[in-house]
């Protein structure tokens, strides 16, 4: 099928049937069909046009992954507006710099981004406030060489560099993949829809392709979630019957540790056998993920061969590719049914590769960028006789399979003229007991560059002993001359793709062993408490955090440290030092108990609903009117209300629920689920602490409240607030 611009691809997407996007923010899940996304994209395009933006204007996207990102992307494409994505974890200063460079006419922001101070006068729209309504933008004439996106590098140590991506570049990537998908699509129909859990940022070209372009070819469903906690990832995969996880290699590493803890037999290698036998041998791991899950798609950073071998041995397919932002992004891709160990696959159709004399990979094709935004000098240096210089060192075997050795600029050249690839040294270091992470860097000593190592290790591990163990496995020119301990919990990595930033581990030519001076945990607690410096003995009680603020703090800690905290243990932490100890235990891999609240589901069954339908108007609400004189004002505001909604009383009493129900119109009254203080039913939840009579009376009150009012428990000071929020969001979604 001939596609001249991305609009042709969008037309097919908007006509597809079934669900397209699912967003789970940890509390509430929302889903949208292909047609809803298509209709909303046209509506957004009309709104952008009404705001005065025209073809060629630039719009910055500064948001976490969410369905509205996809809607806004296609809306901009439809009216010829250029998309400028920025990773939502980038600093506001970086956004300001980019905004000045591209003269942005609009900034779109998400919920999980810091507040913006300067957008160069561009208005700010919040993506989560976009109305999912239709509309029709005026037609715009688009061509294959029109600019679709400008993708900026991080710019941490230099001026941000914008990669210009045209419609031609993107189509050159997705058209060959679409052709391959069509060959096998008929065989996959019994397994449709394929569900993709996408953890790659949409501000990254590969994450964008796997969320925006690939799924509609099947069609498939894309799921976005919040955070990178391994337990949450596994839960999402199993609960939503995910088939494919799209992520960076670091996520596979984290999941490997999680799988080993949950299924110890996964840590034991087995003799080579057919994949069916491997699947059966490690069925406990497959049960952990759910039996529909079968593949990892990995991109954005190099994948270690050992990590690939681990998951392959367990019976999962690991598909990896190679590419850069400048190649929009795919250069090579592994065939899902013909992967080769250690290889990143063969060049996709329309892409040429060759290896330069110094080992650098050169690429040519319609997918390659036309250059960098307003940077003619940078563009000229990036090309050699029409070939794009990738900056990566690699090899191509007889079958056309590409093997990546490392980054050219990070390669260490010894005085003997021998090349040392840091990844080779790090692979050995990371296998040494007690080493959590490592970075091999070249440091000039006496005018000669030698290999040194920066380590993140378990407490008490001797760096010199680590170096000795590693050197026993390394060649002479690879041997480590010096090993040092990094003072922070993890080595510096890029936010979006989790690539190791080796240059950040050195300063002035020597390893940087001075910490940043920032206590991340104390800073997080101080942020939610609205205070500055906190001592280790600062109690959480004296900070005055509400139950919801405690939940927000706990989730922020989990997201920052990429771990999972038990809410009961979190609630029991009395001061900052105990909280720090809890985080350390979680990072060490302690399996913590599940959250402690059990919620009623029987009170939403049809018999319970029927009882409420009869009881509320027959005697409960008339009795409430005897004890409370009710005057209702503003009921007309509820006539056009769109659920789900929250009704919040301005005080707390036992009469709030019946009074509010009496005031509501009938169409809403029977769809309300009131929250009741869990602490009031302590004897019900903790019967071992009370006499049998107290337990019976308290439990009877609990069951009657659940039955006649559809109520559920909400902890005020105890553990379980996060689980309650999830329960209430699911209840609201069903209203």
Q: H/E/C letters for each residue in 41-89?
A: HHHHHHHHHHCCCCCCCEEEEECCCCHHHHHHHHHHHHCCCEEEEECCC
Place of tokens 């999972």: 564
Token pair for 619 = 């005697």
Starting at the edge strand found earlier in the chain, the sheet holding 106-109 runs: 124-126, 106-109, 58-62, 82-86, 147-152, 162-166
Helix axes 67-78, 34-50, angle to 10 degrees: 60
Query: Do 5 and 169 meet the contact criterion of CB atoms below 8 Å apart?
Result: no
Q: Coil, strand or helix: which one is 412?
A: strand
Any idea what DSSP says for residue 190?
A: G
Token pair for 322 = 């190679």
Any idea what DSSP says for residue 218?
A: T
Q: Report the alpha-carbon distance of residue 77 to residue 121 in Å, rounded.
A: 23
230-235 long-range contacts (CB < 8 A, ≥24 apart) are 230/254, 230/255, 230/257, 230/258, 230/564, 231/258, 231/564, 232/26, 232/564, 233/197, 233/199, 234/258, 234/288, 234/289
State the CB neighbour count (10 A cutoff) for residue 657. 22
Q: Report the alpha-carbon distance of residue 67 to residue 38 in Å, rounded.
A: 12
State the CB neighbour count (10 A cutoff) for residue 176. 18
Any idea what DSSP says for residue 493?
A: B
Query: Do 600 and 706 meet the contact criterion of CB atoms below 8 Å apart?
Result: yes
Per-residue confidence (pLDDT) for residue 226, from 0 to 100: 85
Q: Strands 387-396, 383-384: parallel, antiparallel or unpaired by DSSP?
A: antiparallel
Query: Do 456 and 507 meet the contact criterion of CB atoms below 8 Å apart?
Result: no
Per-residue confidence (pLDDT) for residue 514, from 0 to 100: 36
Query: Do 369 and 327 meet the contact criterion of CB atoms below 8 Å apart?
Result: yes
CA-CA-CA-CA dihedral for 292, 335, 165, 252, to nearest 10: 50
Token pair for 424 = 């080779």
Token pair for 421 = 């690839």
* Residue among 356, 426, 336 at smallest CA distance from 396: 356
Buried b (16+ CB within 10 A) or exposed e, 470-491: bbeebeebbbbebbbebeeeeb
Per-residue confidence (pLDDT) for residue 513, from 0 to 100: 46
Residues of the chain with pLDDT under 50: 155-157, 508-509, 512-518, 591, 594
Q: Coil, strand or helix: which one is 563?
A: coil
Q: Report the alpha-carbon distance of residue 196 to residue 303 in Å, rounded.
A: 20
Token pair for 316 = 């999962």
Q: Report the alpha-carbon distance of residue 541 to residue 290 in Å, rounded.
A: 41
In sequence order, what DSSP letters do the residues of 317-362 get, joined into one string?
Answer: EEEEEEE-GGGSSEEEE--TTS--TT---EEPTTEEEEE-TTSEEE
* Residue among 54, 21, 52, 45 at smallest CA distance from 35: 21
Query: Do 250 and 498 meet the contact criterion of CB atoms below 8 Å apart?
Result: yes
Domains defined along the chain, listed by start = 34-166 (3.40.50.980), 411-491 (3.30.300.30), 520-587 (1.10.1200.10), 602-733 (no CATH)
Instruction: Record the pTM.
Output: 0.76
């Amino acid at each position: 099928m001939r596609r001249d611009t991305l609009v042709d691809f969008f037309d097919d997407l908007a006509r597809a049937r079934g669900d397209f996007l699912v967003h789970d923010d940890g509390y509430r899940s929302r889903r949208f069909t292909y047609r809803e996304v298509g209709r909303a994209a046209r509506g957004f395009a009309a709104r952008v046009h009404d705001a005065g933006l025209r073809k060629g204007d630039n719009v910055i996207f500064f948001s976490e992954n969410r369905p509205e990102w996809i809607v806004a992307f296609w809306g901009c494409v439809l009216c010829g507006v250029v998309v400028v994505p920025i990773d939502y974890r980038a600093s506001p200063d970086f956004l300001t710099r980019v905004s000045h460079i591209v003269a942005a006419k609009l900034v779109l922001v998400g919920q999980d981004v810091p507040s913006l101070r300067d957008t160069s006068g561009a208005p700010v729209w919040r993506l989560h406030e976009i109305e999912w309504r239709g509309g029709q933008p005026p037609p715009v004439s688009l061509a294959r060489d029109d600019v679709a996106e400008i993708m900026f590098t991080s710019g941490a140590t230099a001026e941000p560099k914008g990669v210009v991506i045209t419609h031609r570049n993107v189509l050159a990537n997705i058209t060959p993949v679409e052709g391959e998908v069509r060959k096998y699509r008929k065989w996959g129909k019994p397994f449709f829809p394929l569900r993709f859990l996408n953890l790659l940022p949409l501000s990254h070209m590969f994450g964008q392709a796997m969320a925006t372009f690939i799924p509609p070819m099947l069609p498939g469903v894309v799921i976005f979630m919040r955070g990178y906690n391994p337990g949450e990832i596994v839960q999402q995969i199993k609960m939503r019957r995910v088939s494919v996880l799209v992520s960076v290699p670091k996520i596979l590493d984290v999941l490997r540790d999680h799988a080993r803890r949950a299924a110890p037999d996964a840590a034991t290698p087995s003799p080579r056998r057919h994949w069916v036998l491997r699947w059966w041998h490690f069925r406990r791991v497959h049960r952990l993920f759910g039996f529909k899950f079968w593949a990892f798609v990995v991109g954005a950073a190099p994948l270690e061969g050992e990590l690939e071998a681990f998951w392959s041995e367990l019976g999962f397919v690991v598909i990896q590719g190679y590419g850069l932002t400048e190649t929009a992004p795919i250069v090579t891709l592994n065939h899902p049914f013909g992967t080769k160990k250690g290889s990143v696959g063969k060049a996709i159709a329309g892409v040429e590769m060759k290896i330069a004399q110094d080992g650098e990979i050169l690429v040519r094709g319609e997918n390659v960028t036309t250059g960098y935004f307003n940077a003619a000098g940078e563009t000229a240096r990036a090309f050699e006789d029409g070939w794009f210089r990738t900056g990566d060192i690699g090899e191509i075997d007889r079958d056309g399979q590409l093997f990546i050795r490392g980054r050219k600029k990070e390669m260490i050249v010894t005085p003997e003229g021998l090349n040392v690839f840091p990844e080779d040294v790090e692979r050995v270091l990371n296998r040494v007991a007690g080493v959590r992470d490592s970075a091999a860097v070249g440091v000039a000593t006496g005018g000669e560059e030698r290999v040194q190592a920066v380590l993140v290790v378990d407490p008490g591990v001797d760096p010199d002993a680590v170096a000795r163990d590693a050197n026993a496995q390394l060649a002479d020119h690879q041997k480590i001359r010096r090993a040092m301990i990094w003072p922070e919990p993890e080595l510096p990595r890029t936010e979006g793709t989790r690539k190791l930033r080796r240059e950040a581990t050195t300063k002035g030519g020597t390893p940087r062993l001075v910490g940043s001076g920032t206590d991340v945990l104390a800073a997080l607690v101080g942020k939610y408490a609205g205070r500055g410096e906190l001592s280790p003995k600062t109690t959480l009680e004296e900070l005055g955090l509400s139950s919801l603020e405690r939940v927000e703090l706990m989730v922020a800690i989990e997201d920052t440290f990429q771990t999972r905290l038990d809410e009961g243990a979190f609630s029991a932490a009395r001061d900052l030092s105990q909280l720090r100890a809890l985080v350390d235990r979680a990072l060490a891999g302690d399996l913590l108990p599940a959250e402690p609240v059990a919620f009623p589901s029987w009170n939403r069954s049809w018999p319970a609903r029927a009882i409420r339908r009869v009881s509320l108007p027959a005697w409960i609400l008339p009795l409430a009117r005897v004890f409370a004189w009710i005057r209702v004002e503003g009921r007309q505001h509820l006539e056009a209300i769109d659920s789900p909604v929250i009704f919040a009383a301005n005080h707390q009493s036992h009469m709030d629920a019946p009074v509010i129900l009496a005031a509501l119109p009938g169409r809403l009254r029977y769809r309300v689920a009131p929250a009741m203080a869990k602490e009031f039913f302590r004897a019900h939840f903790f019967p071992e602490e009370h006499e049998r009579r107290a337990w019976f009376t308290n439990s009877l009150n609990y069951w009657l409240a659940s039955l006649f009012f559809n109520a559920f428990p909400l902890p005020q000071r105890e553990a379980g607030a996060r689980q309650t929020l999830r329960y209430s969001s699911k209840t609201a979604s069903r209203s």
